[in-house]
Amino acid sequence: MLIKLTGGKVIDPAHNVDGVARDIYIRDGRIVDAPEPGAKVDQEYDLRGKLVMAGAIDLHTHIGGGKVNIARAMLPEDHRPDLCAATDLERSGCGHAAPSTFTTGYRYAEMGYTAGFEPAMMPVNARQAHMEMGDTPIIDKGAYAMLGSDDLLLSLMKDGVDQRVINDYVAWTITHSQAMGLKVVNPGGISAFKFNQRKLDLDEQAPFYGVTPRQILKTLAQALHDLGVPHPLHVHGCNLGVPGNVQTTLDSFAALDGLPAHFTHIQFHSYGTEGDRKFSSGAAHIAEMVNKHKNISVDVGQILFGQTVTASGDNMSQHRNAAHADPSKSVIMDIECDAGCGVVPFRYRDTNFVNALQWCIGLETFLLVDDPWRVFLTTDHPNGAPFTSYPHLIRLLMDKSFRNEQLARINTDAAGLSTLGSLDREYSLYEIAIMTRAAPAKTLGLRDRGHLGVGAAADITVYTEDADREKMFAKPNYVFKDGTLVARDGRIVQVVWGNTHVVKPEYDPGIEKVIEPHFRRFRTQRMGNFKISNDEMCECGHGSKLHVHDCTHGRKQ
């Protein structure tokens, strides 16, 4: 079937196209060249006067895995006021901050998002995470496996093994947990928490293993680089949420010695200790370093005011936050040899000094980092705010007067300490398209997503331009997923099952001689049961396709 999208103004930063009216042809889920004159067009959409972008990609959103399910189970009050009835098309669902899997897929698609990546998949929990994501309709999925506080890595590092052994272990883990990348969360800190430590600084030796977070960061970043995994190490650094952690973050940038890395939810890692309350914005320092160091990219993890739930592998910081839980309940868990997890419900208040300053710090970061290819639009869903608030966040970035109106409403001490009011920058649609489409596709190595060139997957979102950017981005006119019209004017019109993206870096199979005994001696699962096969992935994903991406990016030959 040939579909023609006629005359829309195309914004496609991957091809330097900014608002040029042109036709797009779709056949078999792909964007194709214009057919011979006279070829039969089966379906035509008149998009004259409308804006056309690739489907948006969220590279950091907690949509699957144990902690999300804990959040769902723990927060019936999140579900009761937000019920979605079943329709002929949609399954019933519920949830605002921790929506059910089906609701997650529908709401992303309705907003013009066609892919979301779960950033903290514990390898031991990978099967559960993939089954949940398999039940998330329409959007493409993928996950980053989490290492860095696991017993085997730390033991190998303690024994001083060669980097190649670590590389094999990392590649093996990514391959058999069916991941798209690797995240490190509070390197060594989750393990240290289990030894009753409540803080682990960048150069502090982790208890028992004697390795430092700096060494862990460097080792894992090196591994991904050597393996040629497209997305560099996804770093959730030390001291999340601790005033003064901006220095830790800057030191962590430096610790990489120029190796590429992505620092996630950077807002939570940009706190200074100036002022009467010893809490201040470090966004300017962070942005300066990001601007200078092309090997670094960040996503913001913007907070927005209201009720949400924080879910993280960082049990050390979540244990600290549990005192501020609202409603007052939380779960802090140990996940056998792998890691930990903490789920703490939270309400960000604009009257609260700390929350208001966090809001400013996130926005300052967006506005001070020059290169939209290296700063991604996230709220660290649901940690800073639910993903459904993205249209509001886009308006804050694109509309200075709206931003300043909001700034006038927050805690005045926080507003007074922030430089936000003096920042005039307004993001353009082109820049928004970079940070939500082209750039995430590029960093993840999704060559056929995030752009509208011939050969690309037909993940396409069509908007009507509106000065109210929140309204505009909340309900696109059309959303196509792999060539199928799935949403119209913010309502689902067809349900498809998106693809799952993975990488399978090469490794020496001999590494199993190291891994297998570790499973046998210490873990509740045998190595054979840990491995998730390709067939299993497709079974649990309603027949969705598995896309394996190349690992040749910057590879050492």
Tell me the closest approach of the beta carbon of residue 378 to Zn ion, in angstroms: 8
Tell me the closest approach of the beta carbon of residue 376 to Zn ion, in angstroms: 12
What's the CA gap between 220 and 188, in Å, rounded?
12
Tokens of 125: 């929990």
Q: Find which of Zn ion, another protein, none residue 236 binds, CB within 5 to 8 Å per kind.
A: Zn ion
Beta strand pairing call for 484-488 and 478-481 = antiparallel
Contact code string over 361-380 relative to Zn ion, x by CB under 5 A: -------------------x
Tell me the closest approach of the beta carbon of residue 327 to another protein, in angstroms: 5
Task: Figure out which of the listed residues 327, 421, 490, 554 binds another protein, where binding follows CB under 8 A.
Answer: 327
What's the CA gap between 238 and 375, in Å, rounded?
20
Q: Is 409 in the site for another protein (CB under 8 A)?
A: no
Nearer to Zn ion, 269 or 437 (CB): 269
DSSP 158: H
Nearer to another protein, 322 or 410 (CB): 322
What's the CA gap between 523 and 439, in Å, rounded?
39
Q: With contacts defined by CB under 5 A, name the span among 44-52, 187-195, 231-239, 455-463 that binds Zn ion.
A: 231-239
Q: Is 74 in the site for another protein (CB under 8 A)?
A: yes
Q: Which of 276, 160, 139, 154 is nearest to 209 (CA)?
A: 154
Report the run of H or E that residue 492 belongs to, with start and end: strand 491-492
Q: Which of 340, 285, 338 is nearest to 317 (CA)?
A: 340
Q: With contacts defined by CB under 5 A, name the span among 19-27, 110-118, 203-211, 232-240 that binds Zn ion.
A: 232-240
Residues in the chain: 557
Q: With contacts defined by CB under 5 A, name the span among 149-157, 172-180, 235-243, 542-550 that binds Zn ion.
A: 235-243
Task: Figure out which of the listed residues 198, 329, 471, 526 binds another protein, where binding follows CB under 8 A.
Answer: 329
- Paired with 142 in beta bridges are 117
Q: Is 311 in the site for another protein (CB under 8 A)?
A: no
Nearer to Zn ion, 124 or 184 (CB): 184
How many C-beta neighbours within 10 Å does residue 160 have?
A: 7
Q: With contacts defined by CB under 8 A, name the span among 71-79, 104-112, 252-260, 466-474 that binds another protein.
A: 71-79
- Asked whether 206 and 242 are in contact (CB, 8 A), the reply is no
Nearer to another protein, 72 or 183 (CB): 72
- Paired with 280 in beta bridges are 272
Q: Which residue is nearest to Zn ion (CB)?
A: 236
Contact code string over 29-68 relative to another protein, x by CB under 8 A: ----------------------------------------
Q: Is 77 in the site for another protein (CB under 8 A)?
A: yes
Q: Find which of Zn ion, another protein, none residue 327 binds, CB within 5 to 8 Å per kind.
A: another protein
Q: Find which of another protein, Zn ion, none residue 203 binds, CB within 5 to 8 Å per kind.
A: none
How many C-beta neighbours within 10 Å does residue 491 have?
A: 12
Task: Figure out which of the listed residues 236, 262, 442, 449 binds Zn ion, where binding follows CB under 5 A.
Answer: 236
Q: Where are the alpha helices (DSSP H) in 435-511?
A: 439-444, 469-474
Q: Is 76 in the site for another protein (CB under 8 A)?
A: yes
Measured CA to CA in angstroms, residue 221 lies from 31, 103, 123, 163 at distances of 35, 35, 18, 11
Q: Find which of another protein, Zn ion, none residue 460 binds, CB within 5 to 8 Å per kind.
A: none
Tokens 């079943």 sit at which residue?
Answer: 86
Nearer to another protein, 325 or 432 (CB): 325
Tell me the closest approach of the beta carbon of residue 506 to Zn ion, in angstroms: 28
Task: Figure out which of the listed residues 28, 41, 80, 533 binds another protein, where binding follows CB under 8 A.
Answer: 80
Q: Which of 507, 485, 502, 327 is nearest to 1 (CA)?
A: 485
What's the CA gap between 441 and 158, in Å, rounded?
36
Q: Find which of another protein, Zn ion, none residue 380 binds, CB within 5 to 8 Å per kind.
A: Zn ion
What's the CA gap between 415 and 402, in Å, rounded?
15
Q: Is 81 in the site for another protein (CB under 8 A)?
A: no
Nearer to Zn ion, 237 or 391 (CB): 237
267-296 in b/e burial notation, b at 16+ Cβ within 10 A? bbbbbbeebeeebbbbbbbbbebbeebebb
Measured CA to CA in angstroms, residue 526 lies from 123, 167, 429 at distances of 13, 21, 50
Compute the CA torsion angle 413, 414, 419, 421 (nearest 10 deg). -80
- Which residues contribute to the site for Zn ion (CB under 5 A)? 236, 380
- Which residues contribute to the site for another protein (CB under 8 A)? 74-77, 80, 327-329
